[in-house]
Structure 1
Amino acid sequence: MSGTSTNTNGASGSSQADRRTRVTVLVALTANLVIAAAKAVGGLFAGSPALLSEAAHSVADSLNEVFLLAALRRSRRPADRRHPFGYGKERFFWSLLAAVVIFVMGGCFSFFQGVEALRNGAEEKFSGYVAGLIVLGVAFLAEGISLVRALHQVHRQGGASEGARDPALRTVVAEDGTAVLGVTLAMIGMALHMITGQVVWEASASLGIGALLVYVAYRLGREAMGQLIGEAADPEASGRIRELLEAQPEIDSVEALFTMKMGLDSDLVAARIDLMPGLDSEHVEEVAVRIKRSIARAVPEAGEIFLDVTDRHANEAQESPAATGERGGA
């Protein structure tokens, strides 16, 4: 039995994608910082629970962008003795942390504002309504621009299926999409409060924003958790690897195939294969090297490839009664 490995990567393509993602995150961070300050000032001036909820939402998003920038830098560190497979999974860790921040800072604060408004009421002046709606209108425009930028990058990276592989980009899209919906809810709640004089509309908007943020945090956290605990590679990639192995003339059978995501564009591949009978050790090594190179070409994200090569027929012959002298005498 022998185990072999190889290491390949598309560093140039990955670094270009990272640069584009970094620009997208910086655009979102700039927008959220400006919007958070405007919402906080407008919310305090107007006494609007919905606007204060949106301010907390933007603060949470701003902190998340800082986490994502850290993820982009730290996840590309080279492998070392303590982390022989590299630091690619840090990308998933920071995405999980961002989900926690969305839940705690955004969702919980929005629920608090909504409940407080229902319990104690909220008095607003007409000028406060106008200022709040203007702030929300500007926020809607800024968040929309950031969302369009993120969606454009998703399209450039191969559409929804490929772009969604990047947890940083996925988080920005989720944040901006949620922000657009949250601002819309806040505008509707504030407008109805202004028209009817009933604070229940703004309180309901705050509760709706909180529910929206909790749902998004749950989805992002669940995806990050799956990747952190050892999620398998994409089914399409696994299928290509199995087809390639089964097409090799020297392979009798593929006993097992295991894959695991080690980072954004790096998968670990481990296969247990049985060879055809009659191959000498030198030929076995040549076959293993050729198979690894074929997998690396067919599946560029296969960064680590391990083959457990066995000759089942030789093992069966060694264990047979004839080979071990256990056959009964005549």
Structure 2
Amino acid sequence: MAHSPRLVIYAALAANIGIAAAKFFAAAVSGSSAMLSEGVHSLVDSVNEVLLLHGLRLSQKRPDRQNPLGYGRELYFWSFIVALLVLALGAGFSLYEGVSHILSPEPLRDPTMNYIVLAVGVAFEGTSWWLALKSVRRRKGMLGYFEAFRTTRDPTTFTVLFEDTAALLGLAIAATGIYFSHALGDPRIDGWASIGIAVVLALASALLARESKALLIGEPATPNLLAKVCGIAGRVNGVEAVNGVLTLQVGPDHVLVAISAAFDDRLTTVEIEEVVRTIEARTKEANLPIVALFIKPQTPERWRERLRELDGD
């Protein structure tokens, strides 16, 4: 339970709701553009966590006749919406606020409240970030962080980790802008800090959108799953060779699998059907995340021809 995606999201949601209220209060007291941008940032992150929880709940609905492959892509869709919100609301507002503050600078009032809120924000966001990081470490195995992000089929924890990382960077930028703006008596520095926050959010949004788009369009399952399926099918009597496997990830734990296999020519149609049932039964026994399994009798030559067609040759 300590590494549950839901726990990570709930922790981030609780942190962001409380911090957003504190940031808005500090912005009203001090007149800081960067602090106002950070308040909107935390508010957007709070909405994002709610959307991720909504997508996670929908993605776990059981397959039915209307959606026989399950609802796993609901999570991918809502993750993409989260990326758009980070860009449109978080980065967009921060950029607008920063430019406005530069063009019409207003002197900062007492920044003490800002520093208190920023310190509290670091504590809460840091706790949420650490929970997300521990969950990512457990899931990534021997992969590097960026490689794990690129190959993940469950975007929830990585989304929270990216949001919290962007939040901590935003807090650092806001603190720097407020300090130098007050120390040098130049309120425009606070506006530039707000623009810096917008850049951080835009970069985080671009990375999240790219990964969500790839999952929505369709990515193959992990090589480990492919190897397991090939191994199971290849050990069934009557299968002379497994030519290859095509897979499509349709959710974090939902995979469509199509096997091309060469069967013993002496088998009858009824006997081939029995071999297929055996393969299906053994994949279920292996507890693989397969929602649909298709097996096509095919010669190795025809399989290679099909691959050449996919390669455009």
Indicate the TM-score class for this superposition, using the shorter chain for normalisation: 0.7 to 0.9
Determine whether 1:147 maps to 2:135: no
* Equivalent residue number for residue 58 of structure 1: 42
Paired amino acid for 1:134: I
Structure 1 residues 201-249: Cα deviation after superposition (integer angstroms, max 9, x where no partner): 3222211111111111111111111111222112332244345545656
Structure 1 residues 261-314: Cα deviation after superposition (integer angstroms, max 9, x where no partner): 12111111012222132122343223222323344455712232111125789x
C-alpha separation between the residues in 2 aligned to 1:177 and 1:296? Answer: 39
Determine whether 1:130 maps to 2:112: yes
* Equivalent residue number for residue 260 of structure 2: 272
C-alpha separation between the residues in 2 aligned to 1:312 and 1:87? Answer: 34
Contact 1:275/1:312 (8 A) holds in 2: no
Paired amino acid for 1:144: G
The 3 A distance-change label for structure 1 pair 257 and 79 is: same
Q: Tell me which moved more, 137-146 or 230-239.
A: 230-239
- Larger RCO of the pair (alpha carbons < 8 Å, separation 6+): 1
Residue 266 of structure 2: SS of its match in structure 1?
Answer: coil
* Equivalent residue number for residue 309 of structure 1: 297
- The equivalences for 1:17-56 within 5 A come to 20-56=4-40
Out of 191, 199, 213, the position equivalent to 2:187 is 199
- The equivalences for 1:1-330 within 5 A come to 20-125=4-109, 127=110, 129-157=111-139, 159=141, 161=148, 164-242=152-230, 244-245=232-233, 250-297=238-285, 300-310=288-298
Paired amino acid for 1:145: T
Paired amino acid for 2:52: L
RMSD of aligned residue pairs (Cα, Å): 2.5
Contact 2:236/2:278 (8 A) holds in 1: no
TM-score scaled by structure 1? 0.82
C-alpha separation between the residues in 2 aligned to 1:157 and 1:312? Answer: 36
Paired amino acid for 2:72: G
Paired amino acid for 1:300: L
Residue 262 of structure 1: SS of its match in structure 2?
Answer: strand
Q: How many aligned residue pairs are there?
A: 295
C-alpha separation between the residues in 2 aligned to 1:208 and 1:60? Answer: 17
The 3 A distance-change label for structure 1 pair 196 and 81 is: same
Structure 1 residues 22-57: Cα deviation after superposition (integer angstroms, max 9, x where no partner): 222111111101111111111121111110110110
Q: Tell me which moved more, 237-246 or 88-97.
A: 237-246
| Percent identical | 33
TM-score scaled by structure 2? 0.86
Instruction: List alignment gaps of at least 5 residues for structure 2.
Output: 302-313
Paired amino acid for 1:118: I
Q: Tell me which moved more, 188-197 or 139-148.
A: 188-197
Q: Tell me which moved more, 265-274 or 235-244.
A: 235-244
Residue 113 of structure 1, CA deviation? 1.3
Q: Tell me which moved more, 159-168 or 277-286.
A: 159-168
Contact 1:78/1:87 (8 A) holds in 2: yes
C-alpha separation between the residues in 2 aligned to 1:312 and 1:208? Answer: 56
Residue 116 of structure 1, CA deviation? 1.0
Structure whose CA Rg is larger: 1
C-alpha separation between the residues in 2 aligned to 1:38 and 1:76? Answer: 35
